[in-house]
């Protein structure tokens, strides 16, 4: 029988560089699988700030972190591209939602956003966690925001639109992540029901000096206003970037300038 191990052995002989990459990917997948099986997942929280001279925390983004058996964080960039559209990706969405709802119930003043893949909307276990959480007397739905990337939203647009229609009367809000990174969102934006948009980091980096980014960010803010959506500038790293974005009229700002993701609020 030809196994994955045999395939790696064959690759080692044919292409040593790709063998090294494949071996690393296999090792990372084993770490992720072990972390999920043993409940080693936590949320890290990054603040989203209001646009003011003295900014306040509008809400937090909850970012899932998986830990190895020594308690070290497994870098998400090493595994998310490999599992995003797999069963393991659905498992991570389930764990993330479960952790978020428990945190919202435990802290009634907290407002929290979490990432969601469109494929998880139809996952039975994910829906069970969501439906169970929304019936809790603490009303976590009123303080829950789902962030959906443009790529994911366009993958199953009818499912996403139907889900939004079902959830928004229950208080759940939706944010379009990576706004402006592609072109499809402009054509279909009117069909969705996003409450917020997060302007892609590529337009925020160095915006105080980059005229192209200034023009594009201002255009994105104008489009968002036309559709009555709040705007969040994602990836703010300097005071100069924050000041310039404030002048453009962005509603909220997020990035390392305001705080790195932390396990404690």
Q: Which of 7, 27, 8, 28 is nearest to 19 (CA)?
A: 8
CATH class of the domain whose range is 40-254: alpha beta
Q: Which of 19, 137, 35, 111 is nearest to 76 (CA)?
A: 35
- Would you kindly state where each structural domain of the chain is located, as residue ranges? 1-38, 40-254
Percent of the chain with pLDDT over 90: 68
pLDDT (tens digit, 9 = 90+) per residue, 67-124? 999 999 988 888 888 877 788 889 999 999 999 999 999 999 999 999 998 889 999 9
Q: Which residues pair with 63 in a beta bridge?
A: 44
Mean pLDDT of 132-136: 96
3-class secondary structure, 233:
strand
pLDDT (tens digit, 9 = 90+) per residue, 219-260? 999 999 998 999 999 999 999 999 999 999 999 999 999 999
Instruction: Give residue 8's pLDDT.
Output: 40
> For 81-129, what is the HEC assignment?
HHHCCCHHHHHHHHHHHHHHHHHHHHCCCCCEEEECCHHHHHCHHHHHH
């Amino acid at each position: 029988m030809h196994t994955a191990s045999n395939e790696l052995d064959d690759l080692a002989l044919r292409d040593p560089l790709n063998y090294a990459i494949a071996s690393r990917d296999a090792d990372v997948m084993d770490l992720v699988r072990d972390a999920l099986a043993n409940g080693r997942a936590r949320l890290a929280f990054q603040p989203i700030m209001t646009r003011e001279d003295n900014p306040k925390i509008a809400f937090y983004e909850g970012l899932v972190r998986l830990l190895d058996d020594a308690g070290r964080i497994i870098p998400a960039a090493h595994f998310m591209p490999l599992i995003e559209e797999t069963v393991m990706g659905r498992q991570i969405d389930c764990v993330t939602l479960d952790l978020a709802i428990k945190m919202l119930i435990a802290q009634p003043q907290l407002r929290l956003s979490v990432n969601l893949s469109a494929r998880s909307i139809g996952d039975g276990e994910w829906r069970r966690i969501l439906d169970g959480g929304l019936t809790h007397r603490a009303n976590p739905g009123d303080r829950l925001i789902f962030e959906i990337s443009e790529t994911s939203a366009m993958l199953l647009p009818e499912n996403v639109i139907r889900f939004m229609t079902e959830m928004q009367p229950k208080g759940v809000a939706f944010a379009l992540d990576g706004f402006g990174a592609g072109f499809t969102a402009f054509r279909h934006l009117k069909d969705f029901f996003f409450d917020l948009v997060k302007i892609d980091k590529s337009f925020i980096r160095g915006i105080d000096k980059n005229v192209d980014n200034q023009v594009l960010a201002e255009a994105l803010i104008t489009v968002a206003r036309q559709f009555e959506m709040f705007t969040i500038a994602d990836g703010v790293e300097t005071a100069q970037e924050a000041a310039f974005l404030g002048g453009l009229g962005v509603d909220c700002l997020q990035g390392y300038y305001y705080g790195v993701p932390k396990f404690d609020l």
